[in-house]
Structure 1
Amino acid sequence: MAQFLKCPDNVLASNIVPSHVYHYILPELRPFLHNLRPNESTKLVDDDGEEVIQKILDKSNNQLRMYGSAKEIAGNIKIFRNFPESFLFFDEDSYPFNASPVIYDSLNGEKYLCKPDIFTIIQNIALHSIKYPKTTSFHLLLAMVLKSKITQTYGPVEFVKFDEKMFDEIEKEMKEVENESVEQASAQRLYLEMFVLNKNHAAIVSKLRELNPTIWDDAPTISLLQSWFDKPIEQQKQFIFVMLIKSYTMKCIEQIMAKRATLFMSTPKSSPITVRLFEDGEERYVMEAELYHALNRVSTGSDRFEIHNDGLNFGGMDMNDVKKKYGNRIQTIEVCSDVKHKTIPTYFQFIRTPILRTKHRAVPIRAHFSEQFVIPAVDYFFELWKNVILGVKLFQKHQCSDWGKFVPFFHEFDNFFDIEKLPDDFEPFMRNLQKQQYFLRADIRVERVASKSLEQYGASTVKDVRNAKKDGFTVENLKNELKYLGLTNTFPEIQDHAEAVYEDVDRVKKERYLRTCDLFDAVENCQLICVLNRVPNYQKFLHNQKGCKRVFGYKCAHCEREEEVKNTLDIQDSMKNLKIESSNESGSNQYSQPALSAQKDCEKCMESSKTLEETENELKMSQDQLKEMEKKITNTEKELSDSKKEHEKIVESEAKKTEELAEKKEELSKEKEKNQEKEEEILKASRENEELQKTILKLTAENEANERMIEKLLDRISNLSSNNQKTNEIDEKTIEELTPTASVTSKNAPLIIDCLICSSQIKAGQEVIRCPLCKRRFHSNCAFKWRKDHTQCPACNGDLPGI
């Protein structure tokens, strides 16, 4: 089952990679991508689109340097596109699903799936189970069928329980699809081939449409089929047979889905009552509209909630507030690792949904009722200002130290972030947004419209951020860059933030040295700090939305104030405890005096007054002690803060030393690797030398054998010449078979033949092999051994094709 929950490597189409890049980069940088759409036909890639992205970077005229390398962009986009119904966001209805389905945990530990993700699992099971050769067209046809069905799930966001057994059954049925499809297609093959021969193309289209209207009612598919009618007859036949198989395959897949129809359609009345619980670090909140919709399913009459939605802002509610206000209605249980809860009926299922982000963008989230996508308001804030600073380049274009001229520009953003100034008749649920987390539509952009309010003041020449050096950049380099870009004209104090920003950027860098993309981050954060220091409402908004720590080098005044208040309260609590203890001691001293009789009260007046004086003195002393302790506490706090700073410096220096040691180790390991490579080369050379020596020895032995054979031949020639027998009695066949190694002693003596390889006689009955070129014979074993090291005959040096 695990393999079906992972996005396969071969479902990302090269044609949609530019669309992913388009949605990921700043809006101001998108226009140049329109000219970079790929013209080649669709192909599936298995490198997350890295190669396509590299081509885009090569043609981008250095406009995308802030995003890093092609590999980094591909990795970030892989995260960015991985959410339910992402194909709607990227407008890729005709391409395969390329996001991995996610199994969500509810608060009570049950597993759930978002309904649209079920289609992705069906796709993955089909690609894994059907072994028939799957071309790009198979992936596209499968996507066409599945995405035509997914429209039936449009409506409120729904979840279903994850049932692994059900998907195992689907996999089993999928494995039978291939054989069924081939059998059914084979039965129809001859019938359609007759139409091919008769050129009755309309009948072919009609038959295919009858088999699977989902595919063949689509104009691009019909166009593809018609393009094959101009090809040779045999090619037409083969193509139509393949289309037959695929049509039957898709029909079988549709039948498998039809058995489980409720999984593949919207069923808001019968589906489990679920609410997404968004988790962002320690923050846990829900979408208000989604919560109210769930509450209305268990409410009647006046208890029902009116759901507001202006299409822009989507309110949120902290989970603690949800429990306080509606705990008796939701009746849910939260399972903790260290606490055992009693079993309570669970009407609601809170689906734990993490807020995901890449370096430059937040991962979109489907709004509950519409097909719109939203992101947390704090992420919208950062994305908007990134485009204002690095896309529009507002503060470079309009260099003016008079901040009052920028005020009209900020009015355009009041409905997004300045929530303290909402009109009296504004929706009530929006008034709670000041401290609650909330969402904004991801596709609303007003930066360019807002910047027009500054056109009356003229525009300066805009410069691009320069490239960092190979060994990184320093704080001074950053300060010089801020001045070079003209930002000191708008923000005279901007260089004062450079050091703090530089430290944070250096702390989170991805490679050994700071790169150009890191320089962009530093320039952006320096400007953002200056904006925050000038607009108090933005400071408060960022603090309420828990985004303060995401600004490099920024010190939030609200966070510091809260920390001071917390410390003060802790001190007051400790002082109260001390006072209570001292008062208890003094009280116990008073009430511990022995009881006096009424007759002796007058006589003891002086003694009682003395006791009161002593008690007052003790109280004064205890107050002095409290003050001293207070001073000690403050001094201790200062010492702790100083020691903390020293500790941080020590940790930082140790970290640098560790980094230097790591670098040295890396250099040593590289040198070690080089030495090992040299040793391997020497060993290789010595082995080659040994082989050469062996070859020389072998050749020497062969040469000596050849010399011995020559001597034998010369002896036999002399014997033949001295022989008195008539040579006419030897027939032509004997002459052909006679070899230099054959020794003839007499007319009736048997022919003696020696093996040239082992120089021993070939006796009758022994297995021999004969060279097809020179007709010489050799022992069969000798020939095979010779053949292992040689390719030529030892007699004629010709090739031995027959051995």
Structure 2
Amino acid sequence: MNFEKEFSRINISNSQITHVMKKYIPEKLINCVKLPPGYEEKQLNAEELVQAILSNSDNMLRMYGTARELVLSLKRFQNFPLSHRYFGFDPKEMYATVPMVYRNMDRVPFINKADAIYFFQCVFHKDLFQTPKSFDLFCSMQSILLKSYEERIEGICEFVTFDAEWWAGMQSRFSTIHKQYSNNSSVMSQKWDYKKTLNMFKTMLPMWKQREYGEFEKELKMFFDSKSGNFNDVHVAIRSFADLLESIISGGRGIFLSYDKETNSNCPILVQVFESHGVQFVMESELFNAINIRNPDSKRLECKEIDGKIMTMSFEKVQRKYKDRIGNIEFIRYPIQRTDHKAVPIMTPSGLHCILASDCLFEILNELN
């Protein structure tokens, strides 16, 4: 896959650009940006927004290149599993990542479960909706629904095999369910208003997060106040989408389930082999957890954290020291990604994020300049 080409095609909102930039550029440099009054009211795309920031930074951001170069750097920097949590994106905003496909030593493809969820936002056609506002509202509801499902695998870093043919067939499965709802006269004849719609959507989620969903409520109210779309289109689409997700769970593919020896024992047990500057290494905690799962009758391996640091071990040492206990574990190659100024965060076994200590030192030294 040509990731430079893929990054250029990522759809990232102005709000997301702003959140990523605050993590990417040191605070003392961001504070040099003095945007003129009224710029928020202008309809700017991502590159135009970044250009406005560069043009009003008193040349303090010139090391980040042109607006296009900085936009591409920001897109690359935010391209990792669960980046929306790391950056604090609004839950109604769509995923803004290109899922990475990793391969084990036999070239079998795998994807992170958190990344796999991204593909579900690509199963529908815009032409299902009569107006752009209806389409936008569906996208917001879909994003919130996906992130509520995503919470079922919170706190883990697990992978599933990537079956391109199965994912390609997702769109036709959605279309079949959508057609069934569209042909149901009782569904299509319902009358909707703001309160009824909000209550309906609340029942689709395991928990309503009032603080997090405030922007969505504003969008929904504006949708009905402005009479800018047909909610029946949105209702049929979101109901179809919810049914699709439930069918995936009941089908037992394990995308929304963490490993469990009783309920989800077919989940592959993987260990990431990180690659950086010609060196291969693993996280000890991930390796030991995999060995303990695959060798339940052997003495458990315990990983000790040192001052909150995640300890690593060379892959060569893993193969030498644990060769008798890793035969039924999948190892996948994970090249460390970097931009010119930052390392792309890595997902830890507990679902948090980290970077290499060497990258951290480099970034601290950069900020001291």
- Give the TM-score range, shorter chain: 0.7 to 0.9
Q: Tell me, what secondary structure is at the counterpart of 2:70?
A: helix
Q: Which residue is equivalent to 1:380?
A: 360
Contact 1:11 1:139 in 2 (8 A): no
| Structure of greater relative contact order (alpha carbons < 8 Å, 6+ residues apart) | 2
Relative to structure 1, is the Cα distance of residues 316 and 229 closer, same or farther in structure 2, using a 3 angstrom cutoff?
closer
1:385 CA drift (Å)? 0.5
**The one of 73, 78, 85 aligned to 1:76:** 73
Whichever residue aligns with residue 303 of structure 1, its letter is K
Instruction: For 1:502-651, list aligned pairs within 5 A.
Output: none
Relative to structure 1, is the Cα distance of residues 123 and 210 closer, same or farther in structure 2, using a 3 angstrom cutoff?
closer
What do the CA deviations read for 1:682-713 (whole angstroms, capped 9, x no partner)?
Answer: xxxxxxxxxxxxxxxxxxxxxxxxxxxxxxxx
Instruction: For 1:319-358, list aligned pairs within 5 A.
Output: 319-331=315-327, 347-358=328-339
Relative to structure 1, is the Cα distance of residues 189 and 109 closer, same or farther in structure 2, using a 3 angstrom cutoff?
closer
Normalised by the length of structure 1, the TM-score is: 0.40
Q: Which residue is equivalent to 2:258?
A: 266
Q: Which residue is equivalent to 1:286?
A: 282
Q: Which residue is equivalent to 1:361?
A: 342
The separation in 2 between residues aligned to 1:12 and 1:268, in whole angstroms, is 35
Relative to structure 1, is the Cα distance of residues 384 and 252 closer, same or farther in structure 2, using a 3 angstrom cutoff?
same
Equivalent pairs counted in the alignment come to 350
Whichever residue aligns with residue 107 of structure 1, its letter is M
1:50 CA drift (Å)? 1.5
**The one of 234, 238, 244 aligned to 2:232:** 244
The separation in 2 between residues aligned to 1:202 and 1:66, in whole angstroms, is 50
What do the CA deviations read for 1:267-304 (whole angstroms, capped 9, x no partner)?
Answer: 25422110000112321111111111111112346610
Contact 2:137 2:220 in 1 (8 A): no
Cα RMSD (Å) = 3.2
The separation in 2 between residues aligned to 1:113 and 1:81, in whole angstroms, is 17
Whichever residue aligns with residue 252 of structure 1, its letter is S
Relative to structure 1, is the Cα distance of residues 311 and 103 closer, same or farther in structure 2, using a 3 angstrom cutoff?
farther
Instruction: For 1:399-410, list aligned pairs within 5 A.
Output: none
**The one of 286, 295, 301 aligned to 1:299:** 295
Relative to structure 1, is the Cα distance of residues 150 and 74 closer, same or farther in structure 2, using a 3 angstrom cutoff?
same
The separation in 2 between residues aligned to 1:291 and 1:34, in whole angstroms, is 48
Tell me if 1:122 matches 2:103: no
**The one of 107, 128, 133 aligned to 1:132:** 128
**The one of 104, 107, 118 aligned to 2:105:** 107
Relative to structure 1, is the Cα distance of residues 204 and 372 closer, same or farther in structure 2, using a 3 angstrom cutoff?
closer
The separation in 2 between residues aligned to 1:360 and 1:210, in whole angstroms, is 42
Query: Which ranges of structure 1 fall in alignment gaps of 5 or more residues?
Result: 332-346, 390-803
What do the CA deviations read for 1:244-280 (whole angstroms, capped 9, x no partner)?
Answer: 3213212211211212212123225422110000112
The separation in 2 between residues aligned to 1:312 and 1:28, in whole angstroms, is 27
The separation in 1 between residues aligned to 2:70 and 2:363, in whole angstroms, is 17
The separation in 2 between residues aligned to 1:38 and 1:292, in whole angstroms, is 52
Whichever residue aligns with residue 263 of structure 1, its letter is I
The separation in 2 between residues aligned to 1:250 and 1:44, in whole angstroms, is 29
What do the CA deviations read for 1:87-127 (whole angstroms, capped 9, x no partner)?
Answer: 1221113311111011111012211111011111111233x
1:318 CA drift (Å)? 0.6
Q: Which residue is equivalent to 2:145?
A: 145
Q: Which residue is equivalent to 1:401?
A: none
Q: Which residue is equivalent to 1:192?
A: 191
The separation in 1 between residues aligned to 2:307 and 2:27, in whole angstroms, is 21
Q: Which residue is equivalent to 1:170?
A: 170
What do the CA deviations read for 1:650-685 (whole angstroms, capped 9, x no partner)?
Answer: xxxxxxxxxxxxxxxxxxxxxxxxxxxxxxxxxxxx
Tell me if 1:275 matches 2:274: no
The separation in 1 between residues aligned to 2:53 and 2:365, in whole angstroms, is 25
Q: Which residue is equivalent to 1:25?
A: 25
The separation in 2 between residues aligned to 1:187 and 1:357, in whole angstroms, is 53
Structure with more of its chain in helix, by fraction:
1
The separation in 2 between residues aligned to 1:138 and 1:319, in whole angstroms, is 45
Relative to structure 1, is the Cα distance of residues 293 and 190 closer, same or farther in structure 2, using a 3 angstrom cutoff?
closer
Contact 2:272 2:282 in 1 (8 A): yes
Instruction: For 1:413-424, list aligned pairs within 5 A.
Output: none
Contact 1:155 1:266 in 2 (8 A): no
Whichever residue aligns with residue 310 of structure 2, its letter is F
The separation in 1 between residues aligned to 2:62 and 2:202, in whole angstroms, is 53
Q: Which residue is equivalent to 1:89?
A: 86
Whichever residue aligns with residue 140 of structure 1, its letter is S
The separation in 2 between residues aligned to 1:311 and 1:142, in whole angstroms, is 40
Contact 1:274 1:294 in 2 (8 A): yes
1:84 CA drift (Å)? 1.6
Relative to structure 1, is the Cα distance of residues 358 and 222 closer, same or farther in structure 2, using a 3 angstrom cutoff?
closer
